[in-house]
Structure 1
């Protein structure tokens, strides 16, 4: 039975391969009439790769894909690998190799690489189709930032459409938000309230005279994510780093105590405004206090690339610098994994919300939900986390309270769009997981 299955698979693979070769030859001969061959050949190979991509997904590996296309990243990988190998391999062959052997190497090396790539693509498709786990937890940041933000978050939680939120303890309406959330949590103990550590804007929680290098003349925190990241590059004993780390400790201590006063005692789950908690110098300071304050959970932003998104979504992510943010935070999250384990810190198994931050609606939201729903969280991790920033129309000037960076973000109509998108997502979860 196994031999028969293998024989069938090889036959189908060969059939698709012959078809792709025919496409390559036909396109090459046609384009060769109107352009140089060195231009025509890569274009013909692109057409052949596309034929191979479609054929193997729908024919050769149909049991794994269910008749659906492979994720487009596999097509890009196959084309890039084959172009590279076709260009480099002839130059790398030793001169003493017989011509017949050269032909064998040049023909079968790409064939074997293609077989490996398409089989991996098939296994990737199979995992996505079969690894349906519990849905991700829906989480909203910035409780306490404004009345508009509080309204959206609390309404979603009341409707059962959120599993958690993060409290900005130095926000203008943090106390109001914390009290309202506590009322909801009394009936739903599983609701999670995280400390949203803020080091980049807003009034400081520590006395300004204790942290003079972290605040401006109004006592507002003003060092950006980039500043903290650059500080992490300085040697630990550098005088400037040592001075700022000491002040950083005062501010973290003050925000943790403020959070405890608002929420009450108990284990603390912590994340960061603008994901500042993942910056190495900040993460080290947080972990150094984890035992003293009972910090048991930290957010990871290790976000898998979603599949099936229209090209316009990726272009929008590029324009909004989402891909750059994603890359930076991927590196920081992966660096943090070992430190989490070393300090006994748990984290979320999957995450979505950086690539399309501020625009988590429509196709990006559905793709993120589907991607997270297909992930299996490790035993030591909490369920995957889907992050959004919902809000009602902003009617207050939070820039006057020191939140100049968040003012345009909170005032954007996308806050209402994300609110409505979360409501729609909960109504038709099957559509989002399909």
Structure 2
């Protein structure tokens, strides 16, 4: 299929899906706000990024990814970079340098085929482990936020009582009220509460049109950004924002063409090679955001196109005046939405030993035996253990790279006896000789 015909097909799918399920698509577009808003606001409050530029450029990237990929692919913060930038009060130049460093490395990996090779050699249990670990990490982060809230504090509009209420509503949408656009309802409630609190504090947003400026890292900002934040972000972006998101898209949306690893890598590179020069937050595509948007109803690129248009208009018209309003958006509501996204991501681990695991499906096709969709007891145990080692170390160390290495070592340990046996057989057949 040629590129123009592919874009035409994706556009037709987006339009058709939005016409039939407009409320679900709009609700689903809000599924990643629980991650996006707190980090963007924290960085903007520190003066590290421009909130207006972040909204405008992430909105543009939302629109473009929806048009090119046709799936609810999120545009979310690079979390490792954001964490270091917040903790160390990075300058705008330092965080821009971190984003540019990751973008260049990812671009090289995409155009040389290294990303594709890397994705091919990672066992499915390790990929599932990264996805499940990322989901549990989201749940734990949300629970930390909820733990900091009191029963009636810090505000009448943001406390544990609100969290319990929206959590019960979430459970009901899983059973008796599945058609309710949960994320849309919760977001509207949160926005109304934030507006009321801002009005009481006399700090409502005003028209403050975007005043663009450029950020160019200088001197030590390059090394501070690249070494202190960029290096830690690389494994997270590669594993969770490229490899895991491609596998998750195939699992959740099998009827839609799955983006290639190369195209996702180039997309992340392009977003940061453009946006950070204007003070925007470094961004990527994450499996957690995709799971969240899918959980709340998004099934096409139309959902993120809608979100992108809203971000673009709001960023252009209100700019930095939105900081106060968004700071008053109830954390209790955002945290529960993050929990829902995390559990949706955890759920993909269920298909590890079923036909949902693509490596088993491929093996069944290769041997012409559909029964091979299901691994035997010993193989299922091995696969489960590899996944859980990946999950345990990822969550325990709060580091995707540690979880990945641990999972690969566990996988290789299980493969070692078979490797030794094959080597012995080849030795006995004279196919292995000493130099």
Tell me the TM-score normalized by structure 2. Answer: 0.21
Please identify the structure whose Cα radius of gyration is greater.
1
TM-score normalised by L of structure 1: 0.21
The structure richer in helix per residue is: 2
Structure with bigger RCO (C-alpha 8 Å, 6+ apart): 2
Greater share of strand? 1
